[in-house]
Structure formats: structure tokens, C-alpha cells
Amino acid sequence: MSLDWIYYAISWILLQWHALWDFIGVPEGPFLGTNWAWILAIVFLVVTVRVVLFPVFVKQIKSQRAMQALQPKVKLLQEKHKGDRETLQKEMMELYKTEKANPLMGCLPMFLQVPVFLGLFHVLRRLSPENQGKTLYGWTVDQFESATHAALFTAPLPAQFGSTDAQLAALNTSNGTTVKVIAAVLVLIMMTTTYLTSRQMILKTGWAEDPQQKMIQRLMLYGIPLSLLVSGSLFPIGVVIYWVTNNLFTLGQQQWVLRKFPPPQMNKTGAASKATPARTGPPAKKNGTKVTGPVQPGRTGGGLFGRNKNVEPEPQQSPVVDEKSRAPKPGAKPINPKKGARPANKPRS
């Protein structure tokens, strides 16, 4: 199956964005050793792809929520079929089918971006003086010439960390050290942001109970970033810029979605837990008995949101006086309370 349609689509989007930045007035010539019009064209290629795939990303989040809601049932199946892996997998597939949940949906956006990545990789590899004057998926000769010599801090976009001296000479650059430094820094940023995108999602949703799902999570968290340490040296600098931009876009998008639609908090049994209001005041008393329920600050019997409005405040009770403590002790001299006091109805002389 020919992939030319992907190469034409990627080239068309890239050229449209480059034409827009050129029309706005972004300088075509290098500034700080960088052709910013082509850099911005690659960045907004990412924006275009991510906007198109946003509905798929929403489905991914919904699928993850559905899988999280099924964790209690998955845990019961694991306990029921412990030691019988074949039966467990069969029962879990049946559960997913019944509940219309797809455990692979969480990786779908990444899979859909693979053709875009491969298309850009192929197009940038074709940007070489050896192909000058040839047609390239709808490019003009001037566009091809401009993109071939585009650079990021003097490092050509088609160059790689492992480019040979002959390849660098063909790209009109002889400073292989600068190319390696720029490529190495970008590859490290690519690895770090790839790790952070997976870690961000796992910290919010938690590790899956399903062994298959947990294995996929570990692969995405550790395996993919480590693999980029080797494969990243084979990527053109323009492709690494695309990958880094895509990761940064993913971090922002996930942060927004996870704040707007936070995952349910699961208790030890796997069910969604309800928040318990904290006590904000001292224990209330009713008829001499302590009430252990939550007390709302600043309310006396009103209840939450004004409920129980007919409850009257309890009257203040006078302190109980112990009469025995007021009795004279044995052997004490009686005290005449009227001694020294003036009779109430005796006129003053």
C-alpha cells in the first residue's frame, strides 16, 4: 500500500503554515541561526493534528474512566480465577465486551499520530541538495531550496545526531559538533517530556488492576522513553522538534482535561469513595449527650443549607447547686444571716 497520500497531506499542511508565517512577516532569513518560519510551520503542524484528533482524545479519556469503573469487577475476576490465566483472560474479554469498554482505546491517539510522524520523517529526509530541482509532494523548487537550508541555531533541520561528515557537507554545514549538541539536547527533552506525559496520566488515574493494562502503562512510562535514547539519534532535527512540541501540547491538554473531568477517587474496595465533611467545631450537646456528627461553623441547629430551620435553640440552664456543700460543718459556729443586716421595714432613725 502506497503512503504517498500521507506524504502529500503532511507536505500540504507544512507548506500552508509556512506560507502563512511568510505572509505575516516572519523573517525567512536566519535570525540567531534559525529559520523561524519553518520552525513555526512544524510547531503548528502539531497544533493542526492535535485539533483534528481532539475528539479521539476525549474518547480516550472516557474509555479510561470506563476501565477505572470496571476495576472492582476485574479484581473479583482475578480473585475468582487466580492461577487460571486462560480463563481469567476469557472472562475479562467477555466483561469488556458486555460493558463496551476497550482496553486499547487509551493508546489510540498515539497510534493515530504514527502515520503523521512517519510522513514528516520521510519528507524531511528527502530535503537534501541531492534532490534539488526534483518535485517533492507538491513542493516548488524555491520551497524545496528554502527548507533544505532551514536550521535551528545553525543546525540544519534535515540533519541528525548521527549524520556523517559527507551528509553535513551536503547540507552546507561543516560544524558537526553544533549539530550533535543541538540534536542531543532535543533528544533528551523529547525523552523527558515523553516520560512526563505518561506519568501525569498515571498519577491522576492510578495504576490499573488488570495485568495487561498495567503492563501497557509500564511500557509507556519507561519503555518508550528509553527506546528514544537510541532511535532519537536517527531522527532529523525537524522530527525531534515535532515530537517535543507534541509532548508539550499533550501535557497541557491532559492537565486541562484532568482538572475539568477529574477521575473518581477509589477506596480500598475499589468503589468510588464519598468525601466526609470534616468537623469544624467542638462537639455539640443535646440534653446532656454529645453529638458526634459534623458541626457546620457559624450555625446552631440550622443544618446544611438551612435544613431543620424549625429547631429552636436550647434554653440556658441555671447551674445546679449542691445544697449539702452549703450546710455547716459539724462543730462550726452557726452564722446568723440577719446579724448586721438592717430590717427591711424598720425606718431609719
What is the C-alpha to C-alpha distance for residues 97 and 337, in angstroms, rounded to an integer? Answer: 94
Query: What total of structural domains would you count in the chain?
Result: 1
Residue ranges making up the domain that contains 127: 4-260
Rounded Cα gap, residues 107 and 120, in angstroms = 21
Tell me if 324 is assigned to some domain: no
Q: Could you tell me if residue 27 is inside a domain?
A: yes
Is residue 131 assigned to a domain? yes
- Please say whether the beta carbons of 66 and 99 come within 8 A: yes
Q: Is residue 344 part of a domain?
A: no
Q: Is residue 292 part of a domain?
A: no
Residue 38 falls inside a structural domain: yes
List beta partners, residue 289: 286
CB 254 within 8 A of CB 201: yes
Residue 86 amino acid letter:
E
For residue 307, tell me if it sits in a domain. Answer: no
135-190 pLDDT tens trace: 678 898 888 888 988 999 999 999 999 888 888 888 888 788 999 999 999 999 99
pLDDT in tens, 2-17: 788 999 999 999 999 9
Residue 341 in domain = no
What confidence score (pLDDT) does residue 334 get?
57
Percentage above 70 pLDDT, the chain: 70
CA 82, chain centre distance (Å)? 33
pLDDT class of 217 with cuts at 50, 70, 90: confident
Distance CA 313, CA 12 (A): 76
**Residue-level pLDDT at 190:** 94
